Structure 1
Amino acid sequence: MTAFVLVSGHFTRAWIWRDVSARLRETGAEVYEANLAAEAGAGLETHIEDVLRLIDAANDPELVLVGHDYGIHPVLGAADRRAERITRIVYLDAGLVKDGDRAVQLVPDQTARELLLDPARTPADGLLPAPGRGDWHRWGSIVGLSAGALDRLTAEATPQPVATLTEPLRLTGAYTAVPTSGIFCTAGGISIAGVEAMVGSGLPQFEPLTDPRVGFFDLDTGHWPMLSRPADLAGILIRAAAGEGHRIAPLPAAEEPPFARPHVLDLPERPLPDCPRERIDNLDLYFPGDSAEAFADPLPAILFVHGGPVSEDVRPTPRDWPTYIGYGKYAAGLGVIGATVEHRLYGLHAYPQAAEEIAAAVDALRAHPRVDGDRIALWFFSGGGLLTTDWLANPPAWLRCLAASYPILAPLPGWEAVDERFHPVEAVAGAGRLPIVLTRAGLEAEAIAAAVAEFVAAAEEHKAELELIDVPNGRHGFEVLDHVDEVRDAIARACASVLRHLRA
C-alpha cells in the first residue's frame, strides 16, 4: 500500500491538504498530513523532526514524501535520515535545494526576505507574520484561487517561525538515492518546457534533472494547487507514486554544452585574432594591437555584462566562456577596448549584489589609464537585461550607448524573488537621449519575447532613442547556437551602431 506524507509550505499546516487527502484516500492510499510547529522557537530542525515522526509511525511499504514550497526543506532533511524508508520524493512547486541552503534564499517576497536577512530587523517574537488577504501574490501565483479559497487561506494561516527560514539545511546526500518527481504549477512561470531549456543550456547544475528516475508534471494553476485543483493534484500524486512523469533527455554525450561552444565570430575556419588580455579583479580587458601599450591615446570601451542566474559552482565561470571572450576580442579588433565583468548573479535574489559589482567594475574600467572614461558603452545579455535598470533610469553623461542582446527586460512569471527595483520597462522612461541598441532573437521564449515587446512599447511611448536589430531565425544565445550569416550580420550591425555612438 502506498502512503503519502504531505508537507505544506510557508504559513500553512495540515488543513490545506484536506481535499487532496480525501481524494487520495478514495484510491486506497494512506495519508499523513504534517502539522509543522508554528510556535516561536521552532526551527528547521523542529520541522524535520515533525516529518520524521510521521515517517516512523507509518507501516506502509511504499512511502512518498511530498514537499510544497518551503516544505521541501524538512522533507529533504527527513528523507536524508530515512532514505531506506522512502520510495519517492515529490517537489510540489518547490525549488532545488542542496546542503547548506537556507530557505530564506528562496523566499519570493522581497520585503520579507530583506527583513529575514537583517538581524537588526528580525521580529522580536521570532515569528514572521502571515500575509494579509491582498499580499499572497507576493509568495506565489494566486491564479485559480477562488475568493472563498483566498479567504480561507488568509483565515487559517499561521505565522512562520523565523528560524525555519534562516537555519541551514544539513544533508549527507543519502536522500539522492531516492527517486523524485517534480510538479510545476505553470501559472508561476516554470514548466517542463522551461526546465528542458535550462537543461539544454548545458549548465551542470541542471544535469541531475536528466536522471531517468526523475519524472515531471505540469499543472496549469497557481502556487496553491491543493486549493485550486485538488482533484487534479491528487491524480498527479498517484501517477508520481507509480513512477510516471515526463523524462528530460540529457545532452548527447558527444555534444558540447552551449555555453562552451565557440562564438559565431570565432570559428576555426576564420578565428578572431589574438589580443592581449588584462585581468583586474572581476574585470577583463581586451586591447587592440599586440599589446596594451600599442596605442598612445586612451580608447573608448565596451563592457559586456553576462546573464544569469548562473550557479556559483559552474566552471569555467562566465568570463571564460567563448561567448564573452569572443565579444571582447571582436571589440578589440574593431579598435576599441573590449571588457567583460564577472558578477555573482547566483540566484533571483542576487540582482542587487550583481548591480553593485557591475557599478564597481564600471568605475575600475573608467579609471584605467588606457580607457577614455568619458566614452563607455554597456552591453547586457539574457538575464543580465534586468541589470540595465539603473543605467536606463539615470544615464550618466559618459555612457554613450546601452546595448542588449536577447535580454530579459521585465521579471518573468514566477520571478517574485527579484527585487522590485529591477524593471527596465519602467526605467526606460528616464533614458532621455541615451542610444539603446536592442538585438532580438526571433525564436525567443514566449515570456521573454512578451517582456521585450512591453519594453519596446514603453520606449516608444517615452520617445527613447531605440534601435532594433532582429535575428528572425536566431535563438536565445544565438552567438553559440546559430552559426549562420544571419547572426554574424546582426552582431556586426549592432557593434557598428555601438561604435558609432562611442565615437560621435
Structure 2
Amino acid sequence: MTQPPHELAFVLDVPETGRVRSDEGLDVYLPGDGPLPAVVIVPGPSPEAYPVRPRQWPLFTGYARLLTSRGVVAAVADLPYHNVTGWSEVSELLPDLVESVRALPEVDADRIAVWAFSGGGLLVSRWWFAESPSWLRCLALTYPMLGGETTGLLSPGRPVVLTRVGLESPNLQEEVDRFVAKGVSTGTSVHVIDVPEGHHGFDVADHTDESRAAVLAAVDFVVGHLVPAR
C-alpha cells in the first residue's frame, strides 16, 4: 500500500447508522437502545507519524458501521502503543477496555466478541485463548500477527474465525498456518476464511469481489455467535 491507511477506502460502501460516542480509549458505535451484543475491535499499532489514529481509519469505521447495521454495538479500541514500554504492557490494558464496553448500559455484558486485526492479534492470546469466559461468544482474527505464545496457549474454548490472506509475508503466514494446525490438533473451533489473492490489509488494499465476500463472511460469523437465529 503506497497511501497511508487513513486515506484508503473500505472495500464496502457502508451507510452511517446509529450514533457514535467517543469514550476514553474507545469510539463506540451504537445502533440503538440496548442492551445489545457488542464487538470490541482491536487494531494493531500504527507509526507515530500518521496524523490520524486507527480508530478513525476507514478500515475500522467501515467494520464498525457494518456491525451496527446488523444490530450490534461496535467499540473500536485506541490503545497507546507508543506510550508504553512493550507489547505486554499494552496487553494489560485490553481487559479493562473490554470490561468498560461490557459495563455500558447499551451493551449486553453476556454477549461479547473480540476482533483483532494485524498486530492486535498478539494482544488477545494471554487473556482469551488459554481461558475463555462465558460471556465471550467468539474471537475474530483478521490477517493477524501470531507469536509462538499465542499458538501455544490455544485450547478448546470459544469459536475463532480467522481471515487468512494468500499474499501474506512468509514469516506471518508461517505463524498463521501453525495456529490453524494447532487448532485442528487440539479440537479448537477455528473457522478459516481464505482470501487467496488478498494482501495484508486486503479490506482496504484489494477492492475485489473476493475481498468483499471475505469481509461479509467474517461479519456473518461474528454476528451469528452474538445474535440468536430467528
SS of alignment partner, residue 346 of structure 1: helix
Counterparts in 2 of 1:134-149, with a 5 A limit? none
Q: 1:280–1:497: structure 2 CA closer, same or farther, 3 Å change rule?
A: same
Q: Check whether the contact 2:132–2:157 (CA below 8 A) recurs between aligned residues.
A: no
Q: Name the structure 2 match of 1:323.
A: 59
2:18 corresponds to 1:264: no
Measured against aligned partners, the alpha-carbon deviations of 1:368-416 in whole angstroms (never above 9, x if no partner) come to 00000110000001111111212111111100000000001116xxxxx
Residue 313 of structure 1 and its aligned partner are, at CA, apart by 4.3
RMSD: 1.7
The answer to whether 1:357 aligns with 2:100 is no
Matching residue of 1:334? 70
Residue among 197, 203, 207 paired with 1:473: 197
Deviation (angstroms), 1:257: 2.2
Per-residue CA deviation, residues 400-457 of structure 1 (Å, 9 max, x unaligned), is 000000001116xxxxxxxxxxx2101103xx23100000011111000000011111
Distance (Å, rounded) in 1 between the aligned partners of 2:93 and 2:194: 30
Q: Structure 1: which amino acid aligns with 2:191?
A: E
Alpha carbons 1:379, 1:402 under 8 Å: kept: yes
Structure 1 residue 328 displacement after superposition: 0.8
Instruction: Judge conservation of contact 2:139–2:158 (CA < 8 Å) in 1.
Output: yes
Q: 2:96 is matched by which residue type in structure 1?
A: A
- Please state if 1:377 is matched with 2:113: yes
SS at 1:393 equivalent: coil
Question: Which contiguous aligned blocks of 4+ residues in structure 1 show a shift greater than 4 angstroms?
Answer: none
Q: Give the distance between the partners of 2:72 and 2:96, measured in 1 at CA.
A: 21
Query: Secondary structure at 1:404's aligned position in 2?
Result: strand
Aligned residues: 227
From 460, 484, 490, the equivalent of 2:184 is: 460
In the TM superposition, 1:18-417 aligns within 5 A as 200=1, 251=2, 256-266=3-13, 271-288=14-31, 294-295=32-33, 297-308=34-45, 310-346=46-82, 350-389=86-125, 390-410=127-147
Contact (CA 8 Å) 2:59, 2:203: kept in 1 or not?
yes
Q: Distance in 2 between matches of 1:452 and 1:498?
A: 19
**Contact persistence 1:258–1:481 (CA under 8 A):** no
Percent of aligned positions with the same letter in both sequences? 38
Aligned equivalents of 1:495 and 1:349: distance in 2? 33
Please tell me whether the aligned partners of residues 300 and 336 of structure 1 are also in contact (alpha carbons under 8 angstroms). yes
Matched to 2:164, the amino acid is: R
Which structure has the bigger radius of gyration? Answer: 1
Deviation at 1:349, TM superposition (A): 5.2
Return the offset for 1:492: 0.7
Q: Secondary structure at the match of 2:82?
A: coil
Change in 2 beyond 3 A, CA 1:383/1:357: same
**Match for 1:444 among 151, 168, 176?**
168
Match of 1:475, SS state, is: coil
What's the TM-score, normalizing by structure 1? Answer: 0.43
> Relative to 1, partners in 2 of residues 1:356 and 1:472: Cα closer, same or farther, differing over 3 Å?
same
Residues 374, 397 of structure 1: 8 Å contact kept: yes
Normalising by structure 2, what TM-score? 0.93
Q: Which has the higher strand share?
A: 2
Structure 2 residues without counterparts, runs of 5 or longer: none
Change (3 A) 1:280 1:258: closer
Match of 2:224 in 1: 500
How big is the shift at 1:502?
A: 1.1
